[in-house]
Amino acid sequence: MIKQTYLDDQPAFIASGPTNIDGQETRMLTLIFRTPPCAYNQCTMCGFDNNASGKIKDQNIANQYKTGISTANLTGVRKLDLPTAGSFYNDDEMSPASRKYLFREASMLPEVEHVMVETRVDYLTIEKVLESQEQLREDQEFELAIGLESANDQIRNQVLRKGLSRRGFEHFADICQETNSRLRAYVLIGAPTLTKEQVIADAVETARYIYEVATARGIDTFVAFKPMFVPKGTELEIQFNEGEYELPTLWDVVEVIKRTTELKCFQPNSIWVGMYDENLSNDRVTQNCGECDTEVSKAIIKFNGTQDLSELEKLTCECKGS
């Protein structure tokens, strides 16, 4: 029998930072819930099992939410993100009762206008989305997030082992269209086996694919870039420790952002870059030479809110381009 601990009542991770919604700079609060482990659990780079717990009940989810909300500064927060250790719509990981509770609570946050959850497409149905939306206020927009990571089938399913086809991703987008939900797709910057230039090109090409899928369906999308970090207990950690994998640089991230904004299908104010590691990496994160890391990271985070390239274009360091 798995015994519960006090951690079961604590969110796995809490973060707050700038984001942009429809051209307006605002703040986003992210509460990552400690849930049962991801049922799929095959991705080579995922360390979210470190945030999982074997025995979570509905009351634990409620306690995690209350703890997160009570400790966060909600001033100016218009967006609430509710990720889990796996899939929000897997009933064995997040029960229907817990989902209903969370959306009902979110509806009572007067400044929050946007609510986001993440799930594999395997568990997503129109009925589940509509049930969720019924708990929210009419003025609250719903956002569905999925980890696409790469539009390249070989990178996505052979290297990263996502177990997601393009058809599956496009079905996810279809459900967004049918339920009037915004699409958020995560894109990895720094997949293993790729050269520096291939890392940049793959991320930009993936963004292009996401925009084209969304535009074809008349829906808005966020492209959420995730610079790679090395989570504990993963295959990626083994590759990293054996010198077979090298993290990208922050300059690579800046270049990805710039090139993405130049795409013909680019949707304005639609880029977000995840600059935190959910306390999973032991500081093995995307970085530069050490001298400019703080400045460049702050500029990228600021860009999340402003969507203004000018701050990124001003950045310089001896390590740039090396």
Reported as a single tens digit per residue, the pLDDT across 116-171 is: 999 999 999 999 999 999 999 999 999 999 999 999 999 999 999 999 999 999 99
pLDDT digits (tens, 9 = 90+) for 180-207: 999 999 999 999 999 999 999 999 999 9
C-beta separation of 20 from 305 below 8 A: yes
> Is 319 among the domain residues?
no
Q: Does residue 104 fall inside a structural domain? A: yes
β-bridge pairing 77-81 and 114-118: parallel
Residue 167 in any domain: the answer is: yes
pLDDT of residue 195: 95
Interval 216-269: pLDDT, tens: 999 999 999 999 999 998 999 999 999 999 999 999 999 999 999 999 999 999
Q: In which domain, by residue range, is 103 found?
A: 6-312
Residue 84 is classified by DSSP as -
**In whole angstroms, what is the distance from residue 104 CA to residue 94 CA?**
15
Q: How confident is the model at residue 52 (pLDDT cuts 50, 70, 90)?
A: confident
Report yes or no on 262 lying in a domain.
yes
In a domain, residue 96? The reply is yes
Q: Looking at residue 228, which CATH number applies to its domain?
A: 3.20.20.70
- Asked if residue 288 belongs to a domain, the reply is yes
Q: List the one residue out of 321, 298, 316, 313 whose CA is nearest residue 262.
A: 313
The total number of structural domains that make up the chain: 1
Mean pLDDT of the chain: 95
Place of tokens 């990124």: 312
